[in-house]
Structure 1
Amino acid sequence: MNEGLISQRYAKALFRYAKELGVEELVYEKMKLFLENYEAYPDLQKALLNPVLSPRDKELLLSTAIGIEPGEAYIRAIRLLIKNHRESYLRTIAFIYEDIYRKANGIIRVNIITAQELAPAVMEKIQKLVTEHTSRQVEFSSSIDPQIIGGFILKIGSEQLDASVRKELKQIRSALLNV
């Protein structure tokens, strides 16, 4: 069976279950923590795929991976995944759960990419400006990519505004080559 289809089914079921319990936001926060830690600690994936690790140890590992009290919905989902040997899909399930939660709650993701870290005051102004221009709740994040040289790239949902120096240089280069 397709990994995406499996992950989507589990994510939808988890969202419905969490919604029944009234804890869908808590599960959302836990999924975000899991994904942060999954990326920060590559050994976590190796441990999840280790067939020698007992189901109890995997449950403990996944509970510890979020760093806070896991809660009933998260633990039951983990146990079900481990029981069905689907723990390798947890990362994809977490991404899909986040997407389902955002759509259900009208949340739009905004990411600003800069060459260097921005001052907190500048970040606040950008957040305020973006929030004022959308009628939806905004989840703001930032990242650093020195390869853009300067300027910024603003991603709002599926749209992107590229005001980077790298883009400008590419356009100048292209124009000079086509002369």
Structure 2
Amino acid sequence: MEISSGITASLSGRYASALFDLANDQGFVSAVEGDLEKLDAALRESADLKGLINNPQLGRDEAGRAMDAVAGLLGLGELTKKFVGVLAANRRLSALPDVIRAFGQIAAAQRGEVSAEVTSAHALDDAQVAALTEKLKARTGKSIKLKTSVDPEILGGLVVKIGSQMIDSSIRTRLNSLAQAMKA
């Protein structure tokens, strides 16, 4: 499988690619992807964990021990634990969110999927998610892995990101466009 050179060109992409190769060789791609999703959720929910990975004053050993404890609490697999330990030892924990994102892209590409991030003003129900997934699948011709988030500031509508493409049909953007047109 060929991995996009855009992903592997970055530092986080190289780490993600190396982790993917190891996981693929050992047959643990799904397990590692699940572990990284747990870690990503923990990073989004915990300001302390986010502070830990971005703390330049924390030594390699302390960071490694702290991340090992976090991995234990989250129930991460051995390969993922070792990988996070390598990031800590190389003082690259700050790249972890980007590594997680890149790993997800590589794994999705290997499965023939496209990742899409959808932001809405209110939580989407299962029927809406299914309908949106089908529409995006028809548009891209590929299987879609949908990640949803809620941002009340968009007021209504959706913001859909597929790779480098963004479809912004939010009310906030429409109001901003109208305001700009009225100024002219």
Q: TM tier, shorter chain? A: 0.7 to 0.9
Confirm or deny: 8 A CA contact 1:59 1:82 kept in the other structure.
no
Instruction: For residue 27 of structure 1, report the CA deviation from its aligned partner.
Output: 0.9
Is there any run of 5+ residues in structure 2 with no aligned partner, and where? 1-8
Instruction: For residue 56 of structure 1, report the CA deviation from its aligned partner.
Output: 4.0
Report the secondary structure of 2:169's partner residue. Answer: strand
Identical-pair percentage:
24
Equivalent position amino acid for 1:150 in 2:
G
Q: In the aligned structure 2, how far is the partner of 1:147 from the partner of 1:9?
A: 35
Instruction: For residue 92 of structure 1, report the CA deviation from its aligned partner.
Output: 3.1
Q: In the aligned structure 2, how far is the partner of 1:134 from the partner of 1:157?
A: 11
Confirm whether residue 7 of structure 1 aligns to residue 7 of structure 2. no
Equivalent position amino acid for 2:46 in 1:
Y
Confirm or deny: 8 A CA contact 2:63 2:88 kept in the other structure.
no
Q: In the aligned structure 2, how far is the partner of 1:5 from the partner of 1:134?
A: 26
Confirm whether residue 176 of structure 1 aligns to residue 182 of structure 2. yes
Alignment of 1:7-156 (within 5 A): 7-48=12-53, 49=55, 50-51=58-59, 53=62, 55-64=64-73, 67-68=74-75, 70-156=76-162
Report the secondary structure of 1:133's partner residue. Answer: helix
Instruction: For residue 85 of structure 1, report the CA deviation from its aligned partner.
Output: 4.2
CA RMSD of aligned residues (A): 2.6
Confirm or deny: 8 A CA contact 2:12 2:95 kept in the other structure.
yes
Q: In the aligned structure 2, how far is the partner of 1:156 from the partner of 1:58?
A: 31
Output one character per residue of 1:5-36: Cα deviation in whole Å (capped at 9) or x when no partner: 54333222211111110112221221121111
With structure 1 as the length reference, what TM-score do the two structures score?
Answer: 0.78
Is there any run of 5+ residues in structure 1 with no aligned partner, and where? none
Pairs aligned (count): 172
Bigger Rg over Cα: 1
